[in-house]
Amino acid sequence: MPAITSPEQLFEHELQDIYYAEKTLTKVLPKLADEAKDRELSRAFTSHLKETEKHVINIEKVFRAIGKSPQAHPCPGIEGIKKEHDEFIEENSASSKMLDAFLTGAASRTEHYEIAAYTGLVAQARALKEPKAVELLQENLKQEKEALKKVETISKRLLKDANGSTGNGGSRSR
């Protein structure tokens, strides 16, 4: 069990955690893009995959900026979010509209998780006076916030469509 007694060590640990999470997401996002039936949602997953690949590279640069080699540490947080998704798919037979609505929720949870992680990392890097790390981590944080906004907008539209087709507003097909 490694001893963590300094802010530098804690920062490195947190970095290893988000590094694992981002690498996991590069494998999950193509699956989500396939699962999504809504074209805008599917494209959003594909474009966030490209951003996520850049997040991984940025984290590797942060490791180097602090004189460490990139190393991933298993992150149970992202594994939990992933498991929630996998179980939903296995255990339910959702209509395409409900599946898409579910996927926006899973995406939103993921972005919130990443936003929390990067907000903490930026604060830590700032306290450690690591300007290069601050800059790179802020770049990732900004894209996570934009990704969250995008998925929330899509989610609102999907919910509106779903209510229109199952409720009082008459049916609307795609």
Amino acid at 137: L
Min CB(51)–Fe ion separation in Å: 7
Would you say 108 or 165 has its CB closer to Fe ion? 108
State how far the Cα of 157 lies from the Cα of 100, in Å rounded to an integer. Answer: 11
Residue 113 per-residue DSSP state: H
- Should residue 17 be labelled a site residue for Fe ion when binding is judged by CB under 5 A? no
Would you say 12 or 114 has its CB closer to Fe ion? 114
Residue 28 tokens, joined: 């999950």
Min CB(56)–Fe ion separation in Å: 8
Which residue has 């926006």 as its token pair?
104
Would you say 29 or 161 has its CB closer to Fe ion? 29
State how far the Cα of 21 lies from the Cα of 15, in Å rounded to an integer. Answer: 10
Min CB(87)–Fe ion separation in Å: 21
Out of 144, 151, 158, 161, the only residue in the binding site for Fe ion (CB under 5 A) is 144
Q: Which residues within the stretch 85-124 sit at the binding site for Fe ion (CB under 5 A)? A: 114
Min CB(143)–Fe ion separation in Å: 7
Residue 24 tokens, joined: 């996991």
Q: Which residues within the stretch 53-82 sit at the binding site for Fe ion (CB under 5 A)? A: 55
Please count the residues of this chain forming the interface with Fe ion, following the rule CB under 5 A.
5
Task: For residue 72, count CB atoms less than 10 angstroms from its CB and return exposed for 0-12, middle for 13-18, buried for 19 or more.
Answer: middle
Residue 41 tokens, joined: 């949602």
Task: Find the helix or strand (DSSP H, E) in which 136 lies.
Answer: helix 131-166
In whole angstroms, what separates CA 49 from the centre of its chain? Answer: 9
Would you say 125 or 161 has its CB closer to Fe ion? 125
Min CB(133)–Fe ion separation in Å: 16
Residues of this chain that bind Fe ion (CB under 5 A): 52, 55, 114, 144, 147
